Amino acid sequence: MQGLFMTELTHLPIAKVALDVPLHRLFDYIVPTEGPIPQEGMRVRVSFGAHTKIGFIAGCSAQSDVPAHKLKPLMAILDEIPCISADILRLCCWAANYYHAPLGAVLAGALPARLRQGHALPEIKSDGVINTIQPLLGVGHELNHEQKVAVDHIVAALGQFRTFALDGITGSGKTEVYLQAIAIALQQDLQVLVLVPEIGLTPQMIARFTDRFAVPIVLLHSRLTEKQRLAHWLLAAEGSAHIVIGTRSSVWAVMPRLGLIIVDESHDGSYKQQDGVHYSARDVAVQRAYQNNIPVVLGSATHSLDTLYNVSEDRFTALFLHERAGKAKLGCFKVLDIRNERLQEGICTRLIKEIAKRMEKGEQSLLFLNRRGFSPILICHHCAWVAPCPHCDSYMTLHLSPERLHCHHCNTVQNKPRVCLSCNSDVLMPVGLGTERIEAVLKKAFPTTEILRIDKDTTRKKGSMEAYLQAIHDERYLILIGTQMLAKGHHFSNVTLVGIIDADSGLFSSEFRATEHLAQLIVQVAGRAGRAEKSGEIWIQTRNPEHPLLTTLLEKGYHAFAEGVLADRKQAQLPPYTYMAIIRVQGSKAEPLQAILTAAKQRIATEHSSTVRCLGPAPSPMEKRDKVYHYQLLLWSYQRAHLHEALAQLTQFFSTAKSARTLRWSVDVDPYDTF
């Protein structure tokens, strides 16, 4: 584990310990005179109130501001060497400062669960680090000119900090660019970190990497067992794993010879942590590359507007792939105006006919709807009663297999009522579309055809996603139905038709990023069509065919769409032209939440009125969720430094206010959405 060793601290009597508690400070403990010398990044066991906790040494000092008689000794130093390396500790300190989170919470999130729980750091038996790596390369694809330019730029940047925005249309061979750049990095004895947004994308990524490289490759994601995750983490930390492929939390993996970071589908919202520490793995990856003086590649066909803005400001370097690899051509968009159309449970007759045409030729069709279940609403036909969730300000989603009502926010499950709970009418009707309902319609239209539905409900079992993807590649199913789990990264060579069932959902949302996210979804799912030699078509159902953003996207492409939305954002003074954060509070009653956010807003008005603006306090879009009330205060500023100065003061306010002790609160910097 030589990559984990750090310079020892002098044997100072006071250890500064970071704990995973909702307090933004370090805690002082007496270092025993006997025993190992504490080092930054070591885990310790300490007494905290009436409990015993695992913490991390963040430094040592000769003295403490706490009276000597109140100081407790460290109960135990758990490590002989630090399990948090110097560069990861530095990265975690940056994240704690930027996201205004307790350092102990960030450090805990950087480790596998068994290490967070205080288990011993096991020994790794391996041949050690290979000094000169000669990776065995499989047969790679011949690069076109744009791919070769991209690889050359990335390889030339090894050993220095550069952020590349690899801007490649769907099917343009971004992965091949990654593979050939990684090959050069491995030949220079460097480790490579590859981030992917979804666990479902890791099997095909692993397959391509193992086919190409005869070096140890490990996975890091939440579906591994705790023992597997620890073993893989240790292989990376020791340096014997040369490539790490993982989801969001892999950005914290200890890698002593890290030389290149790749963030695939970098626009994806899955990179944003929505609870605990609200970090963006994409942005943390850029910061890690900066601190380690290495290049980072952000790859996407639909870069976030933040990334495109950074390109326009010359902070990031754009690399373009304008053509699909091989003989594949981009699919052709077809707009289905469904106004006044007679729909079959949400699907127009023309789309069903187009699916039938593909089936006659043995080709596959993919229907996309980003909403699982049968119907989002169960309503009484007589009195308009709607089945509510008993714990949330939301309605229960109707599922038919098995039949139940299910709240997707708090996971409450109920039996479907036989009669209306308001008027006792037995006429209860499903309203709205879900993937189950689309499946039911198509089973009626094509009764002898096997249909595959992929969503969270059908992929709960371990290995099910991998099995379904293999079935698609084997062409066992000609009709596919899926949510965004199928919208990105997958290569289905026989899919020639993509049907987007509901293109209107993001056009009129109050969330300012909704149109950006909708456009990304449309382009990504459209990219599943025509990826081989067969041409593809994308049929879009909409009641707003003349909507300017939709027509720009379909007729001129994503970049023209992005330019228009960026112009609107600039005029409206919204990110990326301003900087935003949300203070969220939760509690059993609404009044205390309103009161503490009002007090926080008054502090901003008193000390930062000219530099920071506030909106609220207001209930979150879903005020009550899982029996808990949610309120928020939105802050934005023209200067990042002004916003963070205000957030630092508010963090101190919430940490010390008595009224906040019974509440849960969090800071979300650069929120993915304002919900």
Which CATH number is 52's domain given? Answer: 3.40.1440.60
Q: Which of 255, 84, 19 has the alpha carbon at shortest distance from 92?
A: 84
Does a structural domain hold residue 405? no
Q: Which of 321, 356, 383 is a domain's end point? A: 321
13-45 confidence digits (pLDDT tens): 899 999 999 889 999 999 988 877 889 999 999
pLDDT, mean of residues 276-295? 97
Residue 350 lies in a domain: yes
Q: Are residues 110 and 151 in the same domain?
A: no
Contact assessment for residue 259 and residue 185, using Cβ atoms and an 8 Å cutoff: yes
Does 300 map to a domain?
Answer: yes
What pLDDT is attached to residue 7? 39
Does residue 265 share a domain with residue 212?
A: yes
E-only strand ranges, 407-550? 413-414, 428-431, 451-454, 479-482, 495-500, 537-542
Q: What is the 3-state secondary structure (H, E, C) of 380-421?
A: ECCCCCECECCCCCCECEEEECCEEEECCCCCCEECCCCCCC
- Name every residue whose Cβ is closer than 8 Å to that of residue 562 and which is 6 or more positions away in sequence: 303, 305, 308, 516, 519
Domain boundary among 550, 569, 588: 569
Same domain, 470 and 563: yes
Helix H, strand E, coil C: the string for 545-559 is CCCHHHHHHHHHCHH
pLDDT band per the 50, 70, 90 thresholds, residue 330: low
Q: Is residue 133 part of a domain?
A: no
Token pair belonging to 467: 């099995």
346 with 490, same domain: the answer is: yes
* Same domain, yes or no: 244 and 350: no
Distance of CA 654 to the CA centre of its chain: 27
The answer on 467 and 540 residing in a single domain is: yes
- Number of domains forming the structure of the chain: 4
The per-residue pLDDT of the chain, averaged, comes to 88
The two three-digit tokens of residue 100, written as one number: 């205004």
- Residues 354 and 487 reside in one and the same domain: yes
Residues 314 and 345 in one domain: no
Residue 124: inside a domain: no
pLDDT of residue 98: 98
Query: Which residues are paired to 317 by β-bridges?
Result: 164
Query: How confident is the model at residue 129, as a pLDDT?
Result: 37
pLDDT digits (tens, 9 = 90+) for 432-441: 888 888 888 9
Asked if residue 475 is part of any domain, the answer here is yes
Q: Between 275 and 305, name the one with better pLDDT.
A: 305
Residue 98 belongs to some domain of the structure: yes
- Asked if 42 and 77 touch (Cβ cutoff 8 Å), the reply is yes
The string of pLDDT tens digits covering residues 446-497 is: 999 989 988 887 777 877 777 888 888 888 999 999 887 777 667 777 888 9
Q: Are residues 195 and 76 in the same domain?
A: no
Which tokens is 590 given?
């609404």
Asked if 172 and 61 sit in the same domain, the reply is: no
Please give the pLDDT value at position 115. 94
Residue 539 backbone zone (phi > 0: left; psi -120 to 50: alpha; other: beta): beta
| Residues 268-288: b if buried by 16+ CB within 10 A, e if exposed | bebbbbeeebbbbbbbbbbbb
**Same domain flag for 595 and 507:** no
Longest CA pairwise span in the chain (Å): 83
Coil/strand/helix, residue 267: coil
The secondary structure of 330-385, three-state, reads CCEEEEEECCCCCEECCEEHHHHHHHHHHHHCCCEEEEECCCCCCECEEEECCCCC
Q: Which of 32, 111, 19, 115 is nearest to 76 (CA)?
A: 32
Residue listed under structure tokens 């939760």: 586
- The domain boundary, picked from 537, 569, 601, lies at 569
Q: What is the CATH number of the domain that holds 248?
A: 3.40.50.300
Angle (deg, nearest 10), helices 349-360 and 435-445: 60
Helix, strand or coil, per DSSP, at residue 501: coil
The residue to which tokens 């789990």 are assigned: 485
Grade residue 328 by pLDDT with cuts at 50, 70 and 90.
low
- Identify whether residues 14 and 45 lie together within a single domain: yes
Structural domain boundaries, residue 559: 332-375+432-569
Closest alpha carbon to 481 in 501, 508, 466 = 501
Residue 233 has pLDDT above 70, yes or no: yes
Joined tokens for residue 432? 């709205």
CATH number, residue 615: 3.30.70.360
Determine the pLDDT at residue 2: 39
Instruction: Inform me whether the pLDDT recorded for 165 exceeds 70.
Output: yes
Greatest mean pLDDT among 314-323, 383-392, 419-428: 314-323
**Is the previous residue joined to 197 through a cis bond, with omega within 30 degrees of 0?**
no
Nearest to 161, CA basis, from 321, 309, 300, 317: 317
Query: Which has more confidence, 105 or 471?
Result: 105
In a domain, 295, yes or no: yes
- Tell me if the bond preceding 402 is cis, omega within 30° of 0: yes
Strand partners, 176: none
pLDDT in tens, 585-626: 999 999 999 999 999 999 999 989 899 999 989 998 888 888
Q: Using CA atoms, how far apart are residues 595 and 432, in angstroms rounded to an integer? A: 38
Strands 451-454 and 343-344: unpaired
pTM value > 0.95:
no
Element (H, E) at 54: strand 51-61
